Chain A
Amino acid sequence: DAGVTQSPTHLIKTRGQQVTLRCSPKSGHDTVSWYQQALGQGPQFIFQYYEEEERQRGNFPDRFSGHQFPNYSSELNVNALLLGDSALYLCASSHRDTYNSPLHFGNGTRLTVT
């Protein structure tokens, strides 16, 4: 049973560039949530996708956008990268019918902005 998979594992970008991160949810899950985790902090909620629409959003600027595909996989896009965007980006999946069940995380994408 495949868990949550994310790609790429690591990424180095230059300030001002754009980046796309990818996530495939755990089998049977239809909801994808994205989190940003800076060093020394807990994961911060970016947004959540269900039925190909953004359902909830945290306090992140519009530079952060996403997409969910019919197969439930998801992308996180960040435009005009800033040095402060350097972080571990985590994708988590769940099922809408058990929305208060715990999240299952992928291994994360470590983004470094130089």
Chain B
Amino acid sequence: RKEVEQDPGPFNVPEGATVAFNCTYSNSASQSFFWYRQDCRKEPKLLMSVYSSGNEDGRFTAQLNRASQYISLLIRDSKLSDSATYLCVVLNAGKSTFGDGTTLTVKP
């Protein structure tokens, strides 16, 4: 079983749709959690940190459930520019472990 698991998708949604991505992790000692965005053939870039209290950045909301070892990302009012691969990242003792990513395509 992988340490970090994501639904690979792809998710194909129309502009303006709301889409949710999920991620589970196996190491209960994990300390920090992030969502990264990766465009085709580019490096991953930090999208947002994830906290148990939840955090919101514009159209993006991230949530952590430590009891269930589950992380989510919600994107509201999807834009064409949101098309990318979204990577769930779990950090423990300085080592970041990535999921394989969920691919999102937003269509006109």
Contacts and interface: CB of A to CB of B under 8 A. Distances in A.
Contact of A102 (B41, B89, B93, B97): B89
Interface stretch (A61-69, A74-82, A105-113): A105-113
20 contacts: A33-B95, A42-B98, A43-B87, A44-B98, A45-B95, A56-B95, A90-B44, A96-B94, A99-B94, A100-B31, A100-B32, A101-B32, A102-B49, A102-B91, A103-B46, A103-B96, A105-B43, A105-B45, A108-B43, A110-B41
A31 interface: yes
A43 B44 contact: yes
A48 interface: yes
B15 interface: no
A106 B94 contact: no
A98 to B, nearest CB: 10
A102 B91 CA distance: 8
Given A40-B100, A42-B87, A42-B99, A100 B94 contact: yes
Contacts of B34: 102
Contacts of A71: none
Contacts of B89: 102
Interface in A43-96: 43-45, 48, 55-56, 88, 90, 92, 94, 96
Contacts of B36: 102
Contact of B43 (A31, A40, A45, A106): A106
Interface string B77-103: 000000000010101011111111100
A90 B34 CA distance: 18
A48 B94 CA distance: 9
Nearest to A38: B100
Contacts of B1: none
Q: Pick the most buried of A42, A90, A94, A107: most chain B CB atoms within 10 A of its CB.
A: A42
Contacts of A42: 4, 87, 98-101
